[in-house]
Amino acid sequence: MSAGVVLKIVSIGEILWDIVGRAEFLGGAPLNFAAHSQRLGNQVALISALGDDERGRRALGALNALGLSTAFIAITSSAPTGMAAVSVDTSGNPAFAFNRPSAYDCVETDERQLAALAAFNPDWIYYGTLAQTSIESERRLERILERCPRAARFYDLNLRGGHWNPPLVERLCRAATVVKLNESEAELLFQGVRPSADFTLETFCHLWAETFDLECVCVTLGGRGCAIYVSGEFTVAAGYPVAVEDTVGAGDAFAAAFLQGMGLGWKPDRAASLANALGALVASRMGAIPEWTMNELRALTAATFHK
């Protein structure tokens, strides 16, 4: 990366505890993304809420330990801190069962906070689907985007069963600059609009970019890497083979690294290489925000990642 370049990023959405058996891991895609993005050297403002409860207090302590700012983290008594029961299939793919409403559904963004966000003047705004499923939360996102007109928008779909609908996804895509999703999500969305057409990654990316006027569409392919579509050019970037320990959070790490490359003006294949590497590194360890170092990332990417 270019020395001295720091991106200013706003990450909006859920903070929750992933419950895996008897163990609890702090997570939520926007939090995971924020933690990995800050570790890449960026300045990140995380907008969310925690419940006034024991899990909320533990989460707040964890955020402080991660070095993330809590300036835009609300504490509410209206709902408990978010939780997600996680189950993993034989292929290592996670499924989530959420408690709703959760504290992150109760974020209130007043004029003082909007002014503070405008003064922060972010380069990028990251958001997903889960935390935008009510009219109030979607309008809150719209207000934030309006107050930060310079910022590019990164929409990471992360579709969870029962917590999304096609019109919402389409509205969120229209607001985005870059859209990132996985292969199964891409096929699901494509079948919804072109049920009689044959699905290919390139056909989907072209359709989605043209329909929603997107600068970039990125489709993750697990260990196979990712497909990227930028300015009419479609390419597939190979993944990095690792011994997979836990896939939860790997996509969020991928998103942080891909945004990093795009934000620094890298060519898409270089940004994709960095993203594939960080996603693989995180998948090789337990938890959504495991420890990793820049030296490990550099070693994995070797020829394509340079300071």
Q: Is residue 2 part of a domain?
A: no
**Looking at residue 119, which CATH number applies to its domain?**
3.40.1190.20
What mean pLDDT, rounded, does the chain reach?
Answer: 93
**Residue that has been written with the tokens 């693989």 in this structure:** 280
Q: What's the rounded mean pLDDT across residues 111-133?
A: 96
Q: What's the rounded mean pLDDT across residues 84-107?
A: 85
Q: Report the alpha-carbon distance of residue 122 to residue 82 in Å, rounded.
A: 26
pLDDT interval class at 92 (50, 70, 90): low
Q: Is residue 172 part of a domain?
A: yes
Q: CB burial class (10 A; 0-12, 13-18, 19+) of residue 223?
A: middle
Q: Report the alpha-carbon distance of residue 4 to residue 217 in Å, rounded.
A: 28
pLDDT interval class at 4 (50, 70, 90): low
Give residue-wise pLDDT tens across range 242-264. Answer: 999 888 889 999 999 999 999 99
Examine the pLDDT at 126 and tell me if it is beyond 80. Answer: yes
Q: Is residue 75 part of a domain?
A: yes
Q: Is residue 1 part of a domain?
A: no
Examine the pLDDT at 2 and tell me if it is beyond 50. Answer: no
Total count of domains within the chain: 1
pTM over 0.85: yes
Q: Is residue 3 part of a domain?
A: no
Residue 241 belongs to what domain range?
8-304
For the chain, give the secondary structure using H, E and C: CCCCCCCEEEEECCCEEEEECCEEEEECHHHHHHHHHHHCCCEEEEEEEEECCHHHHHHHHHHHHHCCCCCCEEEECCCCCEEEEEEECCCCCEEEEECCCCHHHHCCCCHHHHHHHHHHCCCEEEECCHHHCCHHHHHHHHHHHHHCCCCEEEEECCCCCCCCCHHHHHHHHHCCCEEEEEHHHHHHHHHHHCCCCCCCHHHHHHHHHHHHCCCEEEEECHHHCEEEEECCEEEEECCCCCCCCCCCCHHHHHHHHHHHHHHCCCCHHHHHHHHHHHHHHHHCCCCCCCCCCHHHHHHHHHHHCCC
